[in-house]
Amino acid sequence: MRHTLPIAPQFYVTAPQPCPYLDGRMERKLFTALQGEYAEKLNDALSKQGFRRSQNVLYRPSCAECSACLSARIRVADFEPSRSQRRVLKRNRDLRREATSPWATEDQYALFRSYLDSRHADGGMADMDIFEFAAMIEETPIRSRVIEYARETGGKSELAAVCLTDVLDDGLSMVYSFYDPAEAGASLGTHVILDHVQIAQDAGLPYVYLGYWVPGSRKMGYKAKFSALEVYKGGEWRDLGDPAEHAVETHPLSTDPIAEQVAQISLPDTRGP
């Protein structure tokens, strides 16, 4: 007989570094390795608790004096596009979607470089070469897809947007997306999110995970424009409500000690046959 045993991953904390979202604040992450035969169960369980995946690592903000970053997800059954979002869908109705296995291509990397150079030239990915890009796309121990969006131009298919997407047991997690900066007026980033809501609806999945929403950050403000948005706060998912109510002041007691954070994490059980 085999007994039920919890997965017991080791958790670590990164060294503090300047926050990429809020000036004057320091960022720190709690993380664990995502590997082994129970990687999918661990990813499913921790995604429900505000963690995100980056290659074979799961992480969650754990800043010493700030708790502004909030994991966000759309509740698919209750989502209603706004008038402007309906216009985005209409504007991009000629886009062709194709979901493939997580395999990097030169066309993807060319689009990725163009996107970074235009939008995030000073970001943490600015120096990523094609081999590092391939690792970001391909190094996944779980069920992932690359979803490409192409537009027919002059009889030729042109890649317009790409999203690396994880398939969770309760939804789709948009790990990383990028798009053609020359099409700024097409609102491709918004379109990709709206299309993921449609994919989740078709698959009977209740949520679309968007990553972190940061009140006070212009980079993340767009996420609050989606209806039926939930944020993970105080150990539970709750409706976003009024975004202004989530403003967070820095305070040395605003974040629990690391040991307490780890003790509060719910881990999945593994069951033998």
- Rounded to two decimals, the pTM is 0.92
* Dist. CA 62–CA 59, nearest whole Å: 9
Contact present, 52 and 211 (Cβ < 8 Å):
yes
Q: pLDDT value at position 245?
A: 85
Residue 261 reports pLDDT greater than 60: yes
Q: pLDDT value at position 152?
A: 86
Q: pLDDT value at position 4?
A: 46
Q: pLDDT value at position 246?
A: 83
> What fold, for 73-238?
Aminopeptidase (3.40.630)
Domain boundaries, the chain: 5-71+247-270, 73-238
First-to-last alpha carbon distance for the chain, in angstroms, is: 9
Please write the tens of the pLDDT for every residue from 117-149.
887 656 667 788 999 999 999 999 999 999 999
| 219 contacts: CB under 8 Å, gap ≥ 6 | 20, 21
What pLDDT band is residue 71 in, cutting at 50, 70 and 90? Answer: very high
Which H or E element spans position 175?
Answer: strand 171-179
SS (H, E, C) 115-157: HHHHHCCCCCCCCCCHHHHHHHHHCCCCCEEEEEEEEEECCEE
Taking each helix axis from N to C end, the angle separating 130-138 and 106-119, rounded to the nearest 10 degrees, works out to 110
